[in-house]
Amino acid sequence: MAIINGKNVVLKHFYILKEYLEEQHYQLNHIAVEINGNIIPKSKYNTTMIKNDDKIEIVSFVGGG
């Protein structure tokens, strides 16, 4: 079971990070991702694997003034 944004989530299989984010309808240009305490550069979303024992934080940027 992975912990994603504080919630327990059972992943169906190992995911490439980009695949998971797109499946969950995240806008890749407006988020930052941390896995197990490490910030993942957007350039590595396509090669980073996530699995059931990971702790993942996904933060969306919100504009305002």
Q: For every one of its 65 residues, what pLDDT tens digit does the chain have, with 9 covering 90 and above?
A: 999 999 999 998 889 999 999 999 999 999 999 999 999 999 999 999 999 999 999 999 877 65
Distance CA 22, CA 36 (A): 20
d(CA 43, CA 33): 12
Q: Which domains does the chain have, with CATH numbers?
A: 2-60 (3.10.20.30)
**Predicted TM-score of the model (pTM):** 0.89
Residue 56 has what pLDDT? Answer: 98
Q: Is the dihedral of CA 11, 16, 20, 26 positive or negative?
A: positive
